[in-house]
Amino acid sequence: MAERILKGGEYLVAEVTCEEIFTPEEFTDEQRQIAETTEQFVENEILPHIDEIDEQNFDLVVEGMAKCGELGLLMIDTPEEYGGLELDKVTSMLVGEKIATSGSFSVAYAAHTGIGTLPLVYYGTEAQKERYLPKLNTGEWIAAYCLTEPGSGSDALGARATATLSDDEQYYILNGTKQFITNGSFAKLFIVFAKIDKEHFTAFLVEKDYEGLVVGPEEKKLGIKGSSTTQIILDNCKVPVGNLLGEIGKGHKIAFNVLNVGRFKLGACVTGAAKQALLVGVKYANERKQFGQPISEFGAIQEKVADLTADTFAAESLVYRLAGLLDAKLATIDKGIDNYYVEYQKGIEEYAPECAISKVFCSDVLARVVDEVLQIHGGYGFVSEYPAERFYRDERINRIFEGTNEINRLLIPGMILRKSMKGELPLQAEAMKAFESLMTPSFEELDDTIPFAAEKALLKNLKTLFLILAGTGVQKHMDKLVNEQEILLTAADMAIQIFAIESAVLRAEKACRSASDSKKKLLEATVKVFTFNATEIAATAAKKGAYFVEEGDTLLMILSGVRRFAKYDATGLLQAKRLLAQTVCAEEKYLF
């Protein structure tokens, strides 16, 4: 990594080089070994039982978690002094990606190691960590996270669960109902959020055996059927005062900061699932014959394969770029300081916009992948004997988990604008420059000696376009822009696609330096396919945003800017798609 560490959201106003990003090609031998261990675990211990797990044989899930513990896969993010490995975010995301191929089991794993364990790591006292982390590290105990309620989902702070100090001041008495709790039926430790005296939103560590904790029946779900999802009912539940987590009234910090990591990790998990589903679709396309030839030889199928491969490449590039950013930022924090985890959380929060981007973009990619893989299977994709059916059902929850994609899309521009208002990003000054460029004709020619010159020029232009629309929106609505959700969603779609295109382009540029000629051609084809598709999405969002924000001559001027700044020469697109698809189908593997 280079010395410069970009701030969260800064990619929109800065020119980023490939030296400044981390890519999957840079995994260490240790990281690759841990990834291989995870793959073997899933293949040997989970996939042979995946149908039984989907029939809610939760004993197999609990046994699988214990085996994960034996392999060290539950302790990657926990401190060494409590039996953990305390590895970097790249490794953590890599394991999350590889575990994702285990279907519903991966949901239990992700909930336990992420939102179930990290609140304790970040906010627990020494006594709390010593009591619980060793058990969570080994899988002896499984954790669950209890934030959502029947009446509060996205509005987490609207929770109605209450906590009242007992007369003897030895316990908090919790009352309320928590909804959609992953691992609910077999977890032994619950991170529960409740309002002390109906006012102070606070987190508690609640053991399953505490008096007054009742586990509700399993929800009957569309997908992820092999994960446990229940209500947790708190009926005068007695929680020792020593199990208050963090500070009174500061539960929102725990909830939202841990969700940043959850969103990021979800991005890695769904990327792993996309790779798996894509290969299942490709293998089926090679086996299925119609009109005397494999359907993988038909252009209609090849275009699907090419687009999905390019999307998956971009998702993977985005996830590990963000992992590298986080690792670089966290490495600057002195572990010896007393408030280490306070600063650590600030380091993660710095990239909250990118964490939301990871969640939204990657889950949308998986949605497209499973939809097209089912389509490739035709009628058989609708039959449960084929994995495409399970992929399709299991995917749907990912656009709801960790905050809906709509909420996350609203958060992205909101957080970036707040950074600008605090003076952390020069958004206003750059927006003024961007608007000036709108009125200045440009005749700049591409320098063909620069790798991916067309894509880099496009990125510069898309950033300009984002700044024009964001600046116009702020100028028109000022602080009331937060209420203009339709406008914010168009800004988010542009910000997401810009980050994804840039991640794919810079990764490909970096990889091309040591790649063979054939690999270079595949990388160039992948970038062309993805950039074309992503630019269409960004341009549509920009055009919509222009109509939302302006009218008259100013509208016409901005629409002219959309046509100018969203222009991408994708000459050779068909040949790029065919090369990509034919190579994937011939090799029956993810190419990168």
Per-residue pLDDT tens digits for 439-451? 887 667 788 889 9
Residues 223, 131 share a domain: yes
Residues 524, 395 share a domain: no
User: What is the domain extent for residue 282?
Assistant: 1-420
How many beta carbons lie within 10 A of that of residue 346, not counting itself? Answer: 13
Domain boundary among the residues 420, 443, 466 is at 420
Rounded CA separation 148/154 (Å)? 8
How many beta carbons lie within 10 A of that of residue 555, not counting itself? Answer: 14
Residue 327 in tokens: 């690792």
Residues 521, 377 share a domain: no
* C-beta separation of 457 from 444 below 8 A: yes
Residues 387, 255 share a domain: yes
pLDDT of residue 443: 65
Task: Print the SS3 string covering 418-473.
Answer: HHHHCCCCCHHHHHHHHHHHHCCCCCCCCCCCCCCHHHHHHHHHHHHHHHHHHHHH
User: Which residues, including other chains, have CB under 8 Å from residue 273's CB and lie 6 or more apart?
Assistant: 100, 101, 106, 366, 391, 394, 395
DSSP string, 242-290: GGEES-TT-HHHHHHHHHHHHHHHHHHHHHHHHHHHHHHHHHHHHH-EE
The predicted-structure confidence for 218-244, as pLDDT tens digits, reads as follows 999 999 999 999 999 999 999 999 999
Task: Give catalytic residues, as residue numbers.
Answer: 402
Rounded CA separation 12/466 (Å)? 8
pLDDT of residue 534: 98
DSSP code at position 6: P
Rounded CA separation 321/498 (Å)? 14
Residues 414, 505 share a domain: no
Q: Are strands 293-294 and 162-165 parallel, antiparallel or unpaired?
A: unpaired
pLDDT of residue 2: 47
Residue 384 lies in a domain: yes
Using pLDDT thresholds of 50, 70 and 90, give the confidence band for residue 196. Answer: very high
Claim: this prediction has a pTM higher than 0.95: yes
Residues 224, 167 share a domain: yes
Residues 388, 504 share a domain: no
Residues 253, 230 share a domain: yes
pLDDT of residue 291: 96
Rounded CA separation 69/537 (Å)? 42
Residues 440, 544 share a domain: yes
Domain boundary among the residues 383, 404, 420 is at 420
Residues 235, 289 share a domain: yes
DSSP string, 151-190: TBSS-GGG---EEEE-TTSSEEEEEEEEEEEETTTT-SEE
| Statement: residue 495 has pLDDT above 60 | yes
Residue 592 lies in a domain: no
Q: Are strands 293-294 and 200-207 parallel, antiparallel or unpaired?
A: unpaired
User: Which residues, including other chains, have CB under 8 Å from residue 80's CB and lie 6 or more apart?
Assistant: 86
Residue 441 lies in a domain: yes
Residue 168 lies in a domain: yes
User: Which residues, including other chains, have CB under 8 Å from residue 24's CB and lie 6 or more apart?
Assistant: 316, 317, 320, 507, 592
The mean predicted confidence, pLDDT, of the chain is 96
User: Which residues, including other chains, have CB under 8 Å from residue 551's CB and lie 6 or more apart?
Assistant: none
DSSP code at position 515: -
pLDDT of residue 448: 82
Per the structure, the count of domains in the chain is: 2
Mean pLDDT of 39-63: 98
Using pLDDT thresholds of 50, 70 and 90, give the confidence band for residue 256. Answer: confident
Distances (CA, A) of 308 to 124, 226, 427, 493: 42, 27, 34, 19
Rounded CA separation 419/147 (Å)? 27
Mean pLDDT of 308-330: 98
pLDDT of residue 269: 98
| Statement: residue 1 has pLDDT above 80 | no
| Statement: residue 438 has pLDDT above 90 | no
Residue 119 lies in a domain: yes
Rounded CA separation 277/100 (Å)? 11
Residues 236, 92 share a domain: yes
The predicted-structure confidence for 82-109, as pLDDT tens digits, reads as follows 999 999 999 999 999 999 999 999 999 9
What SS3 state is found at 386? Answer: coil
Residue 524 in tokens: 């160039």
Domain boundary among the residues 371, 405, 420 is at 420
Residue 328 lies in a domain: yes
Domain at 570, CATH number: 1.20.140.10
How many beta carbons lie within 10 A of that of residue 105, not counting itself? Answer: 27
Using pLDDT thresholds of 50, 70 and 90, give the confidence band for residue 153. Answer: confident
User: Which candidate, 105, 135, 120, 116, places its Cα nearest to that of 38?
Assistant: 105
Residues 364, 456 share a domain: no
What SS3 state is found at 217? Answer: strand
* Cα dihedral: 73, 326, 261, 349 (round 10): 150
User: Which candidate, 111, 65, 73, places its Cα nearest to that of 224?
Assistant: 111
Residue 302 lies in a domain: yes
